[in-house]
């Protein structure tokens, strides 16, 4: 990890880690494919981590006290087919999912200067913890409309 | 967001306890909650605008919920055929304030808020249980055992797998509690017998648990201490201390140094019981999460043992050998001696069943021809006990000294 770099939401993450919440294992991306959902048109929540979106999607105040560092990271997928499969599965249950996650698929190749990433889950999902100077709207470009 | 023409109702959502997130992507989308009465509810995110997130929620039987998770029913079916015939809607703002709470007949729900007809469950539930909610509700620390692994489904486990777990956990707790109470009592310098007795009683109650729930989300047992020690905010209770030891034991299996600490602090029986329990998990392909949360003291301890990790814990335990040396004094007689090899067999005449077989110490080996089988001797034996976890105890006795007792004894006919 580049010790001179700070995460974009370092203070929020520090608050959690000071309370015993652990960061997951992270590594530097090297030309890593990143597919993520966002809105094709301008949107206030575009490329914002979930805890920075307004309003937060939580049911109870107790949940608000049990946040994890993942909420300050950007969700990505390792390839487009896994991203689309995940999107369509959720849309079957939650028809208006595009209203909260975005209506389109964006793509960018992540490099070490962008931030740190978690391991892939079985669904191909991983989190990107952005560095302070990373600008996601310049890295992730529109690929296709999903809905 | 769509206009909902529902009937305004009161419903205390803040008292609901989250059991599990069934679907989440950047936060929950479909979550299982439980109310104070133990009734199950599904909360489904349905819509949003600049100010609110809208959730639909409805009461569901646990068996029906299990059918959904086990892909036997769709969510559409669960919702449109729910027992109550209606669902609740609530708009939640950024400060978790609840607005426009209403009920609506399921036939009148906007189709955009319903799942697709073929809405089968294709996800992995994530652990969303908030122990703090239980702690707040019971004004007490809460201990959770969550069992995962083969044949463990959402809120169900075969009885044959589950039944042996409880006594094994209880054996570990008993061993830990016995020593913990002794050690903790020693730290008090109170001479007043009554006060000392009261502390002992509190310690005993704070280290015993009662089951308050068996819950879904794999299979969970929720326990709380039997005792209810009065606790000032942010102060650590006996129950917190003991839970930390309990959770720490499950962590110690991963680290030989920590294991050594536990062994020196407690005793070999505890490690044996711990080994038995981990072996049981291994044999049955089970995993375990143990968690403690206390809302008063803000103490929070947890440890996860994955199914695949039990083998490494067993390996650490098998590397451990318990050694003990003790000096044993007895009165008795010899019933076998080999003057060449220097071996002996000795039995007590003090009215107990004590027997010892071993070798004479090299320093006295040359004198053993003087020993008579019809005389009684006071002997000192050095007993070395060694035991590898999971194996039988090995005893090595060395007879250090013997002094003839003046009285002659009658030999048995045998």
CATH number of the domain to which A107 belongs: 3.20.170
Residue B69: HSE in the Cβ half-sphere, 13 Å Cα cutoff: 26
**B23–A49 C-beta distance less than 8 A:** no
- The residue range of the domain holding B36 is 7-113
**A95–B30 C-beta distance less than 8 A:** no
- Provide the whole-model pTM: 0.75
Interface contact A21, partner B, CB < 8 A: no
Number of domains into which chain A is organized: 1
| Residues of chain B with C-beta less than 8 angstroms from the C-beta of A61 | 14, 96
Q: Is A4 left (phi over 0), alpha (psi -120 to 50) or beta?
A: alpha
**B13–A60 C-beta distance less than 8 A:** yes
- My answer on whether B78 and B138 are in the same domain is no
Residue A96 lies in a domain: yes
Q: Answer yes or no: is pLDDT of B412 > 60.
A: no
Residue A5 lies in a domain: no
**A50–B27 C-beta distance less than 8 A:** yes
User: For chain B, what is the radius of gyration of the CA atoms?
Assistant: 31
Helix (H, G, I), strand (E, B) or coil at B100: strand
Tell me whether residue B350 is exposed, middle or buried, using C-beta atoms within 10 angstroms of its C-beta: 0 to 12, 13 to 18, 19 or more.
exposed
Strands (E), B226-342: 286-294, 299-305, 321-338
Lowest mean pLDDT segment, chosen from B273-287, B288-302, B321-335, B398-412? B398-412
Residue B391: HSE in the Cβ half-sphere, 13 Å Cα cutoff: 14
Distance from the Cα of A73 to chain B's closest Cα (Å) equals 9
Quick one: pLDDT band at residue B414, thresholds 50, 70, 90?
very low
Interface contact B232, partner A, CB < 8 A: no
Residue B118 lies in a domain: no
| Token reading at B282 | 């291994």
pLDDT in tens, B264-320: 888 778 888 999 999 999 999 999 999 999 988 888 899 999 999 999 999 998 887
Q: DSSP letters along A17-36, please?
A: HTTTPPP---B--SSEEEEE
- Considering B122-126, B261-265, B357-361, the range whose residues carry the highest mean pLDDT is B357-361
- My answer on whether B341 and B393 are in the same domain is yes
Per-residue pLDDT of chain A (147 residues; tens, 9 = 90+): 555 689 999 999 999 888 777 889 999 999 999 999 999 998 888 999 988 888 888 888 777 666 788 989 999 999 999 999 999 999 999 999 999 999 999 999 999 999 999 999 989 999 999 999 999 999 999 999 998
| Residues of chain A with C-beta less than 8 angstroms from the C-beta of B75 | 93
| Residues of chain B with C-beta less than 8 angstroms from the C-beta of A49 | 26
pLDDT in tens, B344-385: 999 998 888 899 999 999 999 888 888 999 999 999 999 998
Q: What is the pLDDT of residue A17?
A: 87
Last residue of a domain, one of B298, B319, B340: B319
- The residue range of the domain holding A65 is 10-17+27-145
Sign of the Cα torsion B26, B31, B35, B41 reads: positive
Q: What is the pLDDT of residue B408?
A: 54
Last residue of a domain, one of B113, B144, B174: B113
Interface contact A62, partner B, CB < 8 A: yes
Q: Between B176 and B296, name the one with better pLDDT.
A: B176
Interface contact A43, partner B, CB < 8 A: no
Helix (H, G, I), strand (E, B) or coil at B260: helix
Interface contact B156, partner A, CB < 8 A: no
- My answer on whether B311 and B334 are in the same domain is no
Q: What is the pLDDT of residue A63?
A: 72
Q: What are phi and psi of A14, to 5 degrees?
A: -60, -40
- Length, in residues, of chain A: 147
- My answer on whether B143 and B243 are in the same domain is yes
Distance from the Cα of B279 to chain A's closest Cα (Å) equals 28
């Amino acid at each position: 990890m580049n010790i001179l770099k700070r995460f974009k939401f370092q203070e929020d993450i520090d608050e959690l880690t000071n309370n015993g919440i652990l960061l997951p294992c992270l590594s530097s991306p090297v030309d890593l494919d990143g597919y993520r959902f966002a809105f094709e048109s301008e949107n206030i929540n575009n490329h914002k981590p979930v805890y920075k979106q307004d309003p937060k999607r939580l049911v109870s105040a107790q949940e608000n006290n049990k946040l994890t560092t993942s909420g300050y990271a950007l969700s990505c997928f390792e390839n487009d087919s896994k991203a689309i499969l995940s999107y369509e599965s959720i849309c079957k249950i939650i028809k208006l999912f595009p209203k909260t996650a975005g209506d389109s698929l964006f793509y960018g190749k992540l490099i070490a200067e962008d931030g740190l990433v978690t391991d892939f889950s079985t669904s191909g999902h991983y989190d990107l913890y952005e560095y302070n100077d990373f600008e996601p709207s310049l890295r992730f470009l529109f690929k296709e409309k999903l809905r | 967001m769509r206009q909902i023409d529902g009937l305004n109702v009161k419903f205390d959502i803040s008292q609901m306890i989250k059991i599990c997130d069934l679907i989440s992507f950047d936060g929950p989308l479909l979550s299982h909650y439980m109310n104070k009465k133990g009734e199950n509810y599904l909360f489904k995110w349905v819509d949003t605008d600049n100010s609110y997130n809208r959730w639909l929620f409805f009461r569901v039987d646990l068996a029906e919920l299990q059918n959904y998770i086990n892909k036997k029913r769709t969510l559409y079916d669960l919702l449109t055929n729910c027992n109550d015939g209606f669902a609740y809607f609530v708009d939640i703002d950024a400060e978790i304030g609840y607005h426009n709470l209403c009920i609506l007949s399921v036939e009148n729900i906007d189709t955009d808020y319903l799942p697709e007809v073929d809405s089968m469950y294709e996800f992995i539930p994530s652990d969303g249980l908030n122990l703090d909610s239980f702690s707040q509700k019971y004004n007490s620390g809460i201990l959770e055992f969550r069992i995962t692994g083969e044949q463990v489904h959402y809120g169900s486990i075969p009885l044959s797998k589950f039944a042996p777990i409880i006594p094994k956990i209880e054996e570990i707790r008993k061993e830990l509690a016995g020593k913990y109470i002794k050690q903790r009592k020693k730290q008090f310098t109170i001479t007043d017998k009554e006060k000392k007795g009261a502390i002992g009683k509190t310690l005993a109650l704070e280290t015993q648990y009662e089951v308050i729930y068996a819950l879904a989300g794999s299979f969970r047992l929720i326990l709380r201490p039997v005792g209810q020690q009065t606790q000032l905010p942010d102060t650590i209770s006996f129950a917190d201390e003991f839970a930390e030891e309990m959770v720490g034991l499950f962590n110690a299996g991963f680290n030989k140094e920590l294991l050594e600490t536990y062994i020196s602090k407690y005793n070999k029986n505890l490690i044996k019981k711990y080994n038995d329990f981990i072996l049981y998990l291994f044999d049955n392909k089970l995993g375990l999460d143990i968690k403690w949360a206390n809302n008063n003291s803000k103490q929070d301890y947890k440890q996860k043992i994955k199914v695949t990790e039990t083998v490494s814990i067993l390996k650490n335990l098998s590397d451990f050998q318990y050694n003990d040396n003790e000096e044993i004094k007895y009165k008795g007689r010899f019933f076998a001696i080999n003057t060449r090899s220097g071996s002996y067999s000795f039995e007590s005449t003090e009215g107990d069943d004590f027997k010892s077989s071993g070798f004479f110490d090299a320093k006295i080996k040359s004198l053993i021809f003087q020993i008579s089988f019809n005389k009684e001797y006071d002997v000192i034996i050095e007993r070395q006990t060694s035991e590898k976890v999971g194996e039988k105890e090995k005893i090595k006795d060395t007879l250090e000294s013997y002094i003839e007792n003046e009285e002659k004894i009658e030999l048995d006919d045998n």
